[in-house]
Structure 1
């Protein structure tokens, strides 16, 4: 119960901050991430309800809530991470540094993520009814998530290396793009660690070591996913969204440009991009 309450608070605070950041910066591609954070919060409420029923009898509703929502939340995190990389590429005029077209980059990974999400959510629902097929669908969905996330990390790293060797002018104008790439790596690695542990958990089954020791879900799922949400709180992609809006509207006044709109005395100056 204590652990469940702690994670309800941790995810609740991070989720609330994400909602404020998303609306304040109009970072709408973070909607899936925010929904995932909400799922995590509600999922641990389900664990608290189950803990309250200890030592039983346990009812099905809290089990379904925690099983499905905690299971599928990282897939929603992944969707926003995929979309952020595509926007970073667009922001830096870095399409030539990709090994595939930017539009296809986002589509391929998001489609794979949606497929993984559907398999895991349907598997979680079947598992709650006692169907053996549910476990199979969850494992397949987690494997698909691992494959696509592994490929995503490779694609992001290749882009990072190529554009670092041949930087565009935007790379110099927007040097903070590197910290957003770093946040993508951190969140991706955390999701990979969590997914590997969950795959092993479901392969071992109900009598497996991981399933029988509750600490694993709190360390390798709860703590790891909370660190992922906090990483995106700390390095929020609002700057990226602002630059994208600037480029698409032709205003020419993004984060880097705003710094040039004031003289040394703090007086706002007209700025005409060359």
Structure 2
């Protein structure tokens, strides 16, 4: 049986509470400065996006504000883990659930934007109708997220019991693999739509917005690939045990998406 991964911070004694694991599952003790900055960043964009939605009456785009709320809660749990107790299983599950789920909600918003563009420019440019796009990709994200959360919960349980977390990690990996598969199809679908509708996009004055949408989609896609590779390495891998990778490949991509859609709000 493989030896469970474990990291113990010599400068942060384990409180040994009923919800504490024997080791720090993250593989490091988080920086409170990074945690606070991330929470503040998403809170600022939540206020900005919500105000813009209210002014433009673009209630359909409130999904994005919902995703930002999830980011804020996730990074608050991250902050509590960094400041109060990095061994806490509850903080781990909370931050993992909300930080993993938030980009899924953002992706749902992106699916909605593409569907709206198809309806506006013409169904002849897309291989799938808007209703099919929304139904298939949102359902796929829901399924993959449920599997990921279940896997993360199992990882925490196995670690708390000092058991081999390999099987639990494989459950998590399966959810991520399916999401990468589904998003690969979406990226291909959106690329072909933009190629076929390039003249219509130009005529409607949407080239800059199209670029913003494309960058946001690719960034969310690359972030999902990062999570897949990180999970494939297993607990104790290079990507999962260095905060710089989390900051650069988890927080930064989603922070960029929030900024892009703040400048080029789809509600306009």
Q: Which bracket does the TM-score occupy, shorter chain normalised?
A: 0.7 to 0.9
Partners of 2:71 and 2:265 lie apart in 1 by 19
Write the distance in 1 (CA, Å) between the matches of 2:168 and 2:48: 34
Higher helix share: 1
The 3-state SS of whatever aligns with 2:158 is: coil
| 2:115 aligned residue | 86
Quick one: distance in 1 between partners of 2:156 and 2:59?
33
- Residue correspondences, number: 231
- Superposed CA offset, 1:82-103 (max 9, x none): 01100011122x1011112332
Moved more, 17-26 or 218-227: 17-26
Higher relative contact order (CA 8 A, sep 6+): 2
Offset, 1:33:
2.2
Residues 102, 59 of structure 1: alpha-carbon distance in 2 compared, 3 angstrom cutoff: closer
TM-score, normalised to structure 1, is 0.78
Counterparts in 2 of 1:97 and 1:78: CA distance versus 1, 3 Å: same
CA contact (8 A) 1:50 1:63 kept: yes
Question: Does 110-119 or 37-46 show the bigger shift?
Answer: 110-119
* Equivalent in 194, 200, 218 of residue 229 of structure 2: 200
Distance 1:46 1:213 in 2: 18
Q: Counterparts of 1:37-76 in structure 2 under 5 Å?
A: 37-53=68-84, 58-76=87-105
Q: Is the 8 A contact 2:35 2:76 kept in 1?
A: yes
Q: What are the equivalent positions in structure 2 for 1:76-115 lying under 5 Å apart?
A: 76-92=105-121, 94-115=122-143
Gaps of 5+ in 2: 1-31, 160-164
CA distance in 2, matches of 1:147, 1:179: 28
- Deviation (angstroms), 1:171: 5.9
Deviations for 1:56-104, whole angstroms, at most 9, x for unmatched residues?
6x32222222121112211111111001100011122x10111123322
1:154 and 2:149 matched = no
Q: For 1:194 and 1:164, how far apart are their aligned partners in 2?
A: 27
Q: What TM-score do the two structures reach when normalised by structure 2? A: 0.79
Q: 1:127-206 residue pairs with structure 2 within 5 A?
A: 127-130=155-158, 132=165, 133-165=167-199, 167=200, 172=203, 174-175=204-205, 177-206=206-235
Match of 1:33 among 61, 64, 78: 64
- Aligned equivalent of 1:264: none
- In 1: Cα distance, 2:173 partner to 2:57 partner: 35
User: Could you list the runs of 4 or more consecutive aligned residues of structure 1 that deviate by over 6 angstroms after TM superposition?
Assistant: none
Question: Which sections of structure 1, spanning at least 5 residues, go unmatched?
Answer: 240-274
The 3-state SS of whatever aligns with 1:210 is coil
Q: Return the offset for 1:25.
A: 2.0
Q: 1:33 to 1:130 in 2, by over 3 A?
A: farther
Cα RMSD for the two superposed structures: 2.0
